[in-house]
Amino acid sequence: MARFPEDHFGNDVEILEKNVSGRKVKVEWDWGNFENTEGFPVDDNLINWAIGQEQALKECFLCLDEWVHKLKWLEKNEWYEGWSKADEKKPSARSVISPGPYLLLLGDPGTGKSLIGRALAEKLTQVYKENGTKLFDALCWKNLALPSQPRISIHKAGEGKKTLHVEQLKEYKRKFTTKIGIKALQSFLLVMGLVLISLGFYFIIQAWLNWNLNADYLGATLQQYYHGNFADYLIERFVGLVPLTFIPGGSLIFFSIMIWWFSRLMGGGGLKGIGGAQQSDVPKLIVDNSSGHAPFVDATGHRSAQLFGSIAWDPYQTGGLGTPEHQRVSAGDVHVASLGILYIDEIKNLDPDEAVTLLTVLEDGQLPVTLRGRLQGGDTAAMAVSTEPVPAITFLVGAGNFDSIGQVHPALMDRIYGYGKVVRMNNDMPNTLENRRKYVQFITQEIKRFNFTPFSREACVEILEEGRRRSNKKDALTTRFRPLISIIKTAATLAMNEGCETVESRHVREAIEQHCKTIQRQILEHDMNERGKLLEITPDGATIGQIHGLAVAKDPYSGEMTGNVLNVKAHMVKKSEMLRNYPLKGYYKVTGVAKGQSFISDSIAKVRSVVLQRYGVDIAQDYLTHIDFSQSYGVDGPSAGVTMTLLLCSLIEGKPVRQDVAVTGEINLGTGNSIQITAVGGVYEKIKAAEAWGFRKVVIPQRNYEHSIDVKDYRIQVVPAATLDDYLRECLVEKPMLKIPSQAYKRRISK
């Protein structure tokens, strides 16, 4: 028998599967008796992490099937043959590669758009292995005939590095041979120079020895012939030796030193350029798919040079002046993501030029790399460099909020509609047993991702209930999971700080109520708290001419809301009962409301018509009517309608309004004898505000109650009401009092 309630997760035993390193592992999980999430199987496959987006995943898989079919057709027609060799002419793109498919995921932040993009890349890897689809590396080669147009070749994944290694070995051998040859020539010249100079000195020494021997020389002794002057003899001998020994020997040594100097300057025979720039014929590996995984490139926020590739030009960035053109080529995201996923979040932020270039990529499936970017290039030679077309067969997955619909470049949006799909992400999912169990899966996934302690069953229920509240529906759960991740992390940290082995429900509640509020909510709550210190609100007793309405304060940028209690007062006097000395026209004024706003203006007009319909009096012609939203300014929205109507009904019928009851709802013109009150927004925040002020009861439209209210979320009584009569029964004290005190008013006027 289950020890826990069955209403959240059921009590059956389910066989769960998870993928671990490509193997499927089955785990039995007892939903009725699990105490915490320890041991819950977490799948390694990211596609199973996307929760509550079944329709979006279905559309994604359709595009994925189309993508695989397209690649099969391309491989069948050997599209890569034109790129297999660098010196071959590249094929015309439009005749080989067809456009599409593309995906545009639109939805609120936190609904899993980027997760789906990454999951598709994982799925592609699996599909490629099953179908034998080949990934490719890309190499950029030096163009000997026209260096400003580097050549491109593609190779099977992993072959690019091998080809690069072979070319590097060739380059190394060439450099080694060159270096050895230069060293040998340098040594030969140095040795020959030293030998010749040595011979010169040898002949000089021989001259000295001959002088001392004073041998016969031209019919006389040597010293007699030169009259005993050794200098004359030495000069004559030296002049004869210099052209034969010292001059050629010195020249050879000089050339040897020059070769040594230039070899150091040029990198020891490596033929380096100025400032260390390497002159090399070795290709550059610009796309590397040796990992075997389908590429996934998150290009969110990337500019033109990063998206589409560029040519480096600044000598301080390229390694020195003289770096060959092909070594300065950098592939863009569209090239790196070829045969994989190119993910661009907030796609509406693409510049028009970038959107048009992206169109070219999507249509052609290829794009040359050239100098890009407004801040690059100037008047440099890099502007003239452009490679051959580089394959860019990308599966585009764009993402954005719903406002992206009108902000994406029209031509790009047209291509997505024509060749792809636009998918709406769900903000919520049905509150079913299956989806409640998926919440446990979501919690466990985040525990594994951040290495936290397990969550107890009760803590999982707290997260589940918060997901229900955030959906703003009674029978739904939010799929905006990112804010819930913050709650999970904070609750786990609180538990670890206390040394708890599991995260308890109190940790989750503390995280929700104290630590995980957005800055907009913090500011709103602070402002409401400070304003509340000045408000004259006493939820007690019964009073004619005063009622408490509920409203919300909303941040215009984030949409965050917090509740607000309004003290509304009214005064009515029949025009016919006024003193004749004061002939006045009837009027109907409402103060404290936003000026020029259609919502509140419509509500004010409808209140007049509803009172006329119910009581047969015109509060603007028969009465002097003034409604004041006390201590308020700029009140707007349709939910003030029922508040004003109830207040006027109280004055007309002479029945006091219960001050411990707060109300909200939109008033509408009636049909027959019924005046309907329709649903309004921000009901959860309004009820919480009334609860905080100490009200005993809140009356809300019945539609709101049926759609989003779970009474266990509140400590205050929440009463549904469908018509104005329902509201009057809940708010007015039945004991009649004097109707509008016109005689007392006359006496005050006369005094």
Record the tokens describing residue 602, joined without a space: 């419509």
Structure tokens, 38? 């320890």
Beta bridge mates, 623: 574
For residue 530, the SS3 value is helix
- Cα distances (angstroms) measured from residue 88 to each of 149, 152, 327, 694, 720: 13, 9, 20, 82, 77
Out of 70, 113, 554, 686, pick the active-site residue.
686
Q: How far is CA 259 from CA 294, 322, 549, in A?
A: 51, 21, 95
What is the dihedral sign for C-alpha 659, 660, 664, 670? negative
Nearest to 564 by CA among 533, 529, 588: 529
Catalytic: 448? no
Q: Bridge-partner residues for 732, per DSSP?
A: 657
367, containing H or E segment: strand 366-367
Residue from 471, 603, 632, 639 carrying the catalytic annotation:
639
- 292 closest CA partner among 554, 33, 22, 509: 22
Q: What is the dihedral of CA 616, 621, 622, 624, to 10 degrees?
A: 130
- Bridge partners for 390 per DSSP: 367
Distance (Å, whole) CA 40 – CA 31: 10
Give the C-alpha separation, 401 to 409, whole Å: 15
Residues 599, 640: contact at Cβ < 8 Å?
no
Nearest Cα neighbor of 447 from 53, 36, 111, 115 is: 36
DSSP H helices in 498-639: 505-510, 519-532, 598-615
Spatial CA neighbour of 264 closest among 179, 358, 142: 179
667 contacts 641 by C-beta, under 8 angstroms = yes
Residue showing tokens 């099937």: 65
686 is catalytic: yes
What is the set of active-site residues? 639, 686
